[in-house]
Chain A
Amino acid sequence: MSRAGSPSARRTGLPLRALLTGAAVVVALALPLVLPLFQVTLLVNVLIFAVVVTGLVLLTGIVGLTSFGQAAFMGVGAYTTAVLTTQAGWSTWLTLLAGFGVTALIAWLLGLMTLRMQGHYLPLATIAWGISLYYVFGNTPALGGFTGLTDIPPVHFFGLSLTSPRTFAYLALVCLGVVALGAQFLLSSRVGRAMRALRGGPLVAEAFGVNTFRLRVQVFVLAALMASLAGWLYAHSQRFVNPTPFSLQAGIEYLFMAVVGGSQHVWGGVLGAGLITLLREWLRDLLPALIGAQGNFEVIVFGVLVILTLQFARRGLWPLIERVLPREEVRLLPEHSRLPERGKPQPGTPLLEVAHALKTFGGLRAVNDVSFELRAGEILGLIGPNGAGKSTLFNLITGVNPATGGRVTFAGQDITRASAGQIHRLGVARTFQHVHLLPDLTLLANTMMGGYARGRAGMVASLLHLERREEAALQHEALRQLERVGLGEQAFTLAGNLALGQQRILEVARALVADPTLLLLDEPAAGLRYGEKMELVALLKRLRDEGVTILLVEHDMDLVMNLVDRLVVMNYGEKLAEGTPAEIRANAAVREAYLGVDMAEGAA
């Protein structure tokens, strides 16, 4: 087990990483001046493609969805500006906005149709949409058919007409800079954390109040808008458009750029765009000579390259570079204000009430007429043999799988039919039986995920980093909770480096950031060693003393008996007994269910 990267990571001496980034920017700014004209044209293309690929990094690398239709979205942007500037005489800046509008509408509709379903339907729909749009461009006389539209005016910027590739390169650089910076900002924000959480499955994200469907649609639209911007740039750099650069094949190549470069990093996307574009230039001369015929042979090499990348470096090439780069230092923002806290109920008042809960799967009654009450300030244990219906009951309280009948009330509100997110916002936070953390992120970032529902910054605020005040409050709240559970020292370590016991405690910290009135723990001791269990018991007792109400589902009898105030015992979906640990220990029915004591002795 590695405990490397303790708090010292907070203060690395020189901001080496920032210096490197600065140097890269300076080189990028100098390139259009020093390169020969042909290579400047190539550079412009690389920059434009990198804008598209940045969108794919967000969509594919971070959220885990993908689209083969980015080239088609680019086409929408390009054709919108081409038609409106040549035929209606609009200003190029207005057509950019018009392109955004059309693209957003199409992406939104496609997203609504496909994003409710499993991940692979979106790429399939985008394949169909990519092909269709290509033929629409090619077969519409008003769009110039397969020959396209010519005489697109250049972009004017304060009286300067960007006709030469050298000046245009700066426009493209600025666009890429804005897009890449926005993407980086987004990734280090509340929305970005939710996006990363989506990749690990919708369960965690939903449990912390993320509307996963809406977020997916938003990211899909955002990626499409980036492609649309690239299309606008492309139309005004080439000054003519035809359907070919927006075909499905081009869409596939953008995805390849992301995969080869490293789809989980913004820089990886830029790297991929550069690499594949240059490789194509080189192969276009080499291969036809080698094969002795004309044709698109470079796709053979691209395809093989992508398959090899997937087999040997599934995260692409950028992580290999990242390894030799200095680590990005974690900056803590100054705390201006604290997050608002929720009023806590009086100890002893009823908090959660389960009345005649019923859950059937087909003919099976997994939970059958179970009723109990949980009072503020106590630890209640829910135990029972395997298959007793504990986890089903747990899912029913957390809204993962709502009840078929009966009533669940939390803090006076009926939550029987509420969604996981709604229940969370009322003050219920949970941990998972199988740990669900993001191993590549720090403990701090993982913990901050728990505070999602306490923040309100949306996509736009996150892209522009207008939410720094809230982010700072979240950071410090997360740090406080990490210290509360005893992980403060390791706040900047990666979660993947923790042992299982600490990962479970990290999940508790994450739940605590939500400022819950009720903490739900799903088998927190499963797989823990003895020492780890003792630490967990100590922590939970301390939390109870600090006023947190806890409901836990657990198998480990010793742990439960030493920890809880009261117990509910389930067997075969029904409530078998309820009472203090001492009462439960003395209960004959419970002993029978657990130990299989024979009927004669049990009845005696």
Chain B
Amino acid sequence: MDFLQLFDPTIFPVLAADGLTNGAVYALLALATVLVFAVTRVIFIPLGEFVVFGTLTLASLQLGKVPGTLSLLLVLLGAAALMEALTWVRRGQAGRGLLTLGGAALLGAALWALAGWAVPLKPPLWGQVILTLLLVAPLGPLIYRTVYQPLQNATVLVLLIASVALHLVLTGLALVFFGPEGSRTPPFAAGNVTLGQVTLSWQSLLVILVSALLMLGLYFFFDRTMPGKALRATAVNRLGARLVGISPSSAGTLTFTLAAVIAGLGGMLIGPSVAMTYDSGFLIGLKGFIGAIIGGLVSYPLAAVGAVLVGLIESFASFSLSAWKEVIVFTLILPVLLWRSLTTRHIPEDEE
């Protein structure tokens, strides 16, 4: 009975619209996951935490509070600068090391001053969005520098364990920064739009549009620009890319910046429709992840389609079997894996 209600003409479009909206954001996350894995071999589980940091930082700004994200950013900046400076000193270029430290100190001070000045003024929504991005996006490259770059030559498995560890650290920090309560951020647009039988909120439409635009942007970035092509080259053949002068570290830095921007934006897009708590990130990230796995961690279009599918399934499942929603979504991964294991020919590889 419940199940048949799904196809009721008044309910079906609502569920479909919901699924599409969340699916669009999952698709963005799926793309970021594929990108990070292809370029750096890191299975980036903490991507979901970036979504949470995006939403909750914006929520803090709404209240005129300086978010804890700032202190994390400053600590990471310090650690990264220190590591970088040490590398310079070891190469016998202490001067450059000092310069790095000085630059980082200036940058940190500037960010701190900016946040301290702008946050209490409660700037308009678009200003808050920019401020959020300024606080969340740099976390990507800084985390790459402090956590993953020292592990550059490690196996996929070691990198995965590091990712899971990082996920726990960020979840714990989110609890410290934002507390256990959930927050919603205000929608970017109010009201509904009616397209024939279907009524969509402007917000949903906006989410779908922005996601589509971002994907288009990524397509152009990878297809038309030099840095984008360099990333693709690294993804195809790490050693080859290195031989033609693409440094794996700068490719990694760029990739993590992109991932952080995508996830941070994703967080702000999904923020109005999901009550985000400090620990929501894992499940959200994983849903994007399932999309990525459907794409075999290599195909961007398949990953996006897979993620939208996950959003739809989740939406329909939450209506008829809400307690089992997560079970349904996550056991979905098993048939997908089975299918992949039967269809892809395994090529023996020597990893170590």
Can you list 8 pairs linking A and B with CB atoms under 8 Å apart?
Answer: A66-B161, A114-B341, A201-B348, A255-B161, A297-B172, A303-B168, A304-B165, A310-B151
Would B350 and A113 count as touching, CB distance under 8 A?
A: no
Given contacts A303-B168, A310-B158, A314-B154, contact A135 B326 (CB under 8 A): yes
Known contacts A118-B156, A297-B175; can you find 6 more A-B pairs with CB under 8 A? A128-B333, A131-B330, A199-B352, A200-B350, A307-B165, A311-B151
CB distance from B169 to the nearest CB of A (A): 3
B165 close to A303 (CB less than 8 A): yes
**Nearest CB of B to A431, in Å:** 16
Tell me if B242 is interfacial: C-beta within 8 Å of chain A: no
B286 within 8 A of A: yes
Q: How far is the CB of A62 from chain B (nearest CB, A)?
A: 13
Contact partners of A65 in chain B: CB under 8 A: 157
Residue among A124, A201, A203, A300 making CB contact with B293, cutoff 8 Å? A124
A203/B350 in contact, CB under 8 A: yes
In the complex, the answer to whether B180 meets A295 with C-beta atoms within 8 Å is yes
| Given A114-B341, A135-B326, CB of A124 within 8 Å of CB of B333 | yes
Is the Cβ of B334 less than 8 Å from the Cβ of A113? yes
Bound CA–CA A110/B293 (angstroms): 16
In the bound complex, do residue A116 and residue B176 qualify as a contact, i.e. CB atoms below 8 Å apart? no
| Given contact pairs A117-B340, A131-B326, A303-B169, A293 touches B334 in the complex (Cβ within 8 A) | no
Q: How many A-B Cβ pairs are below 8 Å?
A: 143
Q: What is the 8 Å Cβ interface bit string for chain A, positions 377-394, against chain B (1 contact, 0 not)? A: 000000000000000000
- Complex CA gap A56/B154 in Å reads 19
By the criterion CB–CB under 8 Å, are B175 and A306 in contact? Answer: no
- Distance (Å) between the CB of B165 and the closest chain A CB? 4
> Per-residue CB proximity of B332-351 to A under 8 Å, as 1/0?
01100110110010101111
A246 within 8 A of B: no
Quick check: A135 and B327 within 8 Å, CB to CB?
yes
Report Cα–Cα, A310/B146, bound state, in Å.
12
* Cross-chain contact B171 with A299 (CB below 8 angstroms): yes
Interface flag for A127 (CB, 8 Å):
yes
Q: Is A99 an interface residue (CB 8 A)?
A: no
B293-337: contact bitstring with A at CB < 8 Å (1 yes, 0 no)? 100000000000000000000000000000110110011011001
Bound together, the chains give a CA A65 to CA B151 distance in angstroms of 18
Contacts of A295 in B (CB 8 A): 172, 175-176, 180
Contact B176 A296 (CB under 8 A): no
Whole-angstrom distance between the Cβ of B334 and the nearest chain A Cβ = 6
A177 in the interface (beta carbon within 8 A): no
CB-CB under 8 A from A135, the residues of chain B are 323-324, 326-327
* A256 sits at the interface (CB 8 A): yes
Q: Is the CB of A117 within 8 A of B337?
A: yes
A203 to B175, CA, bound (A): 46
Provide the residues of chain B in CB contact with A259, threshold 8 Å.
Answer: 161
Q: Is A252's CB under 8 angstroms from B176's CB? A: no
Contact check, B162 vs A114: say whether CB atoms are below 8 A apart: no
Taking CB atoms, residues of chain B closer than 8 Å to A304 are: 165, 169
Interface contact A132-B173, CB-CB below 8 Å: no
Shortest C-beta distance, B335 to chain A (Å), equals 9
Across the interface, do A120 and B352 meet the contact criterion of CB distance under 8 Å? no
**Cβ contact within 8 Å between B350 and A132:** no
User: Among residues 145 to 166 in chain B, which have CB atoms less than 8 Å away from a CB atom of chain A?
Assistant: 147, 150-151, 154-158, 160-162, 164-166
Q: How far is the CA of A255 from the CA of B165 in the complex (A)?
A: 10
A60 close to chain B: CB less than 8 A? yes
Q: Which of B165, B283, B346, B349 contacts A306 (CB 8 A)?
A: B165
Instruction: Report the separation of the CA atoms of residues A120 and B45 in the bound assembly, to the nearest whole angstrom.
Output: 13
Q: Is B179 an interface residue (CB 8 A)?
A: yes
Contacts of A255 on B, CB cut-off 8 Å? 161, 164
- Choose among B160, B323, B331, B341 the residue that contacts A120 (Cβ–Cβ < 8 A): B160
Residues 246-298 of A contacting B (Cβ, < 8 Å):
249, 252, 255-256, 259, 291, 293, 295-298
Residues of B within 8 A of A300 (CB): 168-169, 172-173, 176
Contact A307 B324, CB 8 Å, known A113-B338, A124-B293? no
Q: Choose among B169, B330, B351 the residue that contacts A128 (Cβ–Cβ < 8 A).
A: B330
Contact B324 A139 (CB under 8 A): yes
Q: Does B43 belong to the interface (CB within 8 Å)?
A: yes
Residues of B within 8 A of A120 (CB): 43, 156-157, 160
Chain B residues with CB under 8 Å of A123's CB are 157, 160
Bound complex: CA A202 to CA B351 (Å): 10
Please give, as numbers and ranges, the residues of chain B lying within 8 Å of A293 by CB-CB distance. Answer: 175-176, 179
Which residues does chain B contribute within 8 Å of A299, judged by CB atoms?
Answer: 168-169, 171-172
Which of the residues A113, A128, A202, A252 comes within 8 Å of B348, measured between beta carbons? Answer: A202
A252 B168 Cβ-Cβ under 8 A = yes
Please, what's the 1-or-0 string for B186-210, where 1 marks a CB less than 8 Å from any CB in chain A? 0000000000000000000000000
Asked if A450 is at the interface of the complex by the 8 Å CB criterion, the answer is: no
B residues in contact with A209, CB < 8 Å: none
Q: Which residue of B lies closest to A202 (CB)?
A: B348
How many Å from the CB of A105 to the closest CB on chain B?
Answer: 14
Q: Which residues of A contact B165 (CB under 8 A)?
A: 256, 302-304, 306-307, 310
Could you tell me the distance between the alpha carbons of A243 and B236 in the complex, rounded to whole angstroms?
43
Q: Which residue of A lies closest to B289 (CB)?
A: A124
B346–A116 touching, CB < 8 Å:
yes
**B334 partner residues in chain A, CB cutoff 8 A:** 110, 113, 125, 128-129
* B172 contacts A296, C-beta separation under 8 Å: yes
A345-372 toward B: CB 8 Å interface, digit per residue (1/0)? 0000000000000000000000000000
Complex: how many Å from CA A262 to CA B180? 34
Contacts of B333 in A (CB 8 A): 124-125, 128
Using CB atoms, name the residue of chain B closest to A120.
B156
Contacts of B176 in A (CB 8 A): 291, 293, 295, 297, 300
CA distance A66 to B341 in the complex (A): 17
Interface membership of A501, Cβ < 8 A: no
The residues of A that contact B157 with a CB separation of less than 8 Å are: 60, 64-66, 119-120, 123
Known contacts A291-B176, A306-B162: A113-B337 contact under CB 8 Å = yes
A108 close to chain B: CB less than 8 A: no
A121 within 8 A of partner (CB):
yes
Determine the chain B residues whose CB is within 8 A of the CB of A296 once the complex forms: 172, 175
Alpha-carbon distance A199/B351, docked complex (angstroms): 9
The reply to whether the CB of A68 lies closer than 8 angstroms to some CB of chain B is yes
